[in-house]
Structure 1
Amino acid sequence: MINDRSGDVIGFFRILQRHYVAFLDFLRFQLTSRREFERLSLTDPTTLTDIERAARFLYLQRTAFGGKVVGRSFGVSPDRPGRFDVTTLAPMLEAVHERLSGVVIECLPYADVIRRYDRPETLFYLDPPYAGSEGDYGAGAFVSADFALLADQLRSIAGRFILSINDTPMVRGVFKGFQMDAVSTTYSVSAKSPTRASELIISGP
């Protein structure tokens, strides 16, 4: 099971189901371009046709750093090819569809998902916004107070969880009592130079 709070994933596959050939034809001459990325980022998706909206979703997800919903930056690396390659699009879509064919796609607030699916045998993987970047998933989708609410809920679940997040004093305080493993990583696919960063892998209960 995955949780698609925005509904973009299922909307995207609905277009593939009904307009697959037209969708691929629409993207036939699309290239990895910063100018196109910026144009689509500024485009209001509600002004687009269904096919245009699905194409915009796929293009931004493929070319944006970190798959952010807002505040996107163009994901580029000097030693890698363009991230949007039309020649590999059809097999990629087939592979993604095959991977998701047995998956339930929910569209619920995170707390409702945890309550609904919590069982002794359940393992949740949680990927909330980084502390300090709560708006990255869209306005109001996750706010600072949700970190404490999430931690309290996780303390009482029957199953287990793994949560990845940036390493800050606030995060360590809110999730105190859970297993915490610090890891070091490099953020390299962004508009800035590669930087070292510390993250936490939190698990429990």
Structure 2
Amino acid sequence: MTETQAWDTYSKQKPERRHTNAAGESTWFNWTQYADHGPGAELLGVDPGASVLDLGCGKGGNLAHITALGARAVGVDVSLAQLKAAEARWSDTGMVLHHTEATRFLAESGEHFDAVFSVFGAAWFTDPAVLLPAIRQRLRPGGVLAFSHRPPIEGCYGCQASYINRSEDEDPLVVKRWDYEPERWEALLTEHGFTVAAARVLPAPPGPRKIGTLLVRAHA
């Protein structure tokens, strides 16, 4: 199975975004795996007219909110199923979608961006030694890179196997992900020319689940 097939399978399992959030808004930005939790798009510092790139945009919910802020929103994903779902729901927003791999898009695109983000997306599932310098080349001076994903399991750092389950009669699909502690992410970003790098684990909201969200942010 190719990586594309793995993410197409994941697309079928991922529930659709609600039509409104707890505040009654039709678009919103969510960095975490929990509904109505954590900071929003203010972390990106997006102004009207800015150009913003989502690496691993999935079904486009966060990207739709970027368009509502008056920015030019560009999304990249390897899963055609994810992109079709984004087009079906958000076709009237003006977002621009590309069916390709993140590092390929960054290498081949001539566009520069004011902000690049990834929510449980390509920043987690791409070798940072390859991805970070590619992002750095596409960010305008002072631009923001921000991404989020689950914190690493203690002692399990670097390239790890991530499993996407299928039916009981089929083996799970496997994709690679890169897990690091906050301090290591800060060091990696600094090594690749980013400044003001900061990473932290945002605690889970009150309730039975205890796994927080690793949130990383830096400037070009």
TM-score, with structure 2 as normaliser: 0.38
TM-score, with structure 1 as normaliser: 0.40
Q: Which has the larger radius of gyration?
A: 1
Task: Determine which structure has the larger strand proportion and give its number.
Answer: 2
Structure with the greater relative contact order (CA < 8 A, sep ≥ 6): 1 or 2?
Answer: 1
